[in-house]
Amino acid sequence: MTNASRTDWNVPLILLAISVIPFAAGIARLAGLPGNPEISTANARFVATPVPVVVHILGAILFPILSVLRLSSGLHQRSPHWHRVSGRVVVASGIFAALTGLWMTILSPIPPDLQGGLLYAGRVVVSVALLLSIFLAVAASKGTDTERHRTLMIRAFALGHGAGMQALLLLLWMLLMGEPSLLHRDLLMGLAWLINLLFAEMAIQRWSPRHSNLYRGTV
């Protein structure tokens, strides 16, 4: 592996590493749904309506993993067909993750000890923004505006990849400050999305000249 290709994979690998905790939590949630799981306040809403939970978790795992892999220009150059096919899966998984996220936020009864107004609003705004970014990105690709498509998909990835940064911030807070209050948890969760968006804007500026050909014909 050359120095250039190693550099090309630095960011994808870091982002995947941050996602280990939410991925593991999602898989554990899926494993606990079949059969007759013990009902608790934490899982009652998931057991009552498992379909949106399953779709959300699968979409929320596929969307960041494939998005991260698509950051590699080397992988794109070796397999342009894979890049196009994976683009369609990324779009579909992002849409399903956002729609089911809205469903669970608005229609599923959230336990009082987990229900914070700021987080509720943040989830609704982020889900809608994710959907809008993906739809606009697809429209831009159909109109051959590859630069706009690339920019919108990077922002969509930042929004859809919030769980990894949220887990990291919450873990750091608990190690330094102990269990966060409901307000602190909501603020940390919102801060994670803002940090991701900041990194997205930095990536857009940094990678534009070097990766401008990476997003042609992606969806």
Lowest mean pLDDT among 90-104, 105-119, 160-174: 105-119
Report d(CA 60, CA 63) in Å as an integer.
Answer: 5
Lowest mean pLDDT among 83-87, 148-152, 174-178: 83-87
pLDDT tier, 50 (very low <50, low <70, confident <90, very high otherwise): confident
Q: What is the CA radius of gyration of the chain?
A: 18
Query: Residue 204: pLDDT above 70?
Result: yes
Mean pLDDT of 113-128: 85
Report d(CA 33, CA 36) in Å as an integer.
Answer: 8
Tokens of 160: 């859809």
Q: Round the average pLDDT of the chain to a whole number and report it.
A: 81
Query: Residue 174: pLDDT above 90?
Result: yes
The structure's pTM equals 0.81
Long-range contacts: 3-9, Cβ < 8 Å, 24+?
5/74, 8/71, 8/72, 8/73, 8/74, 9/72, 9/74
pLDDT at 146: 81
pLDDT in tens, 60-107: 999 988 887 776 666 666 776 777 788 889 999 999 999 999 998 888
Spatial CA neighbour of 52 closest among 12, 114, 124, 106: 106
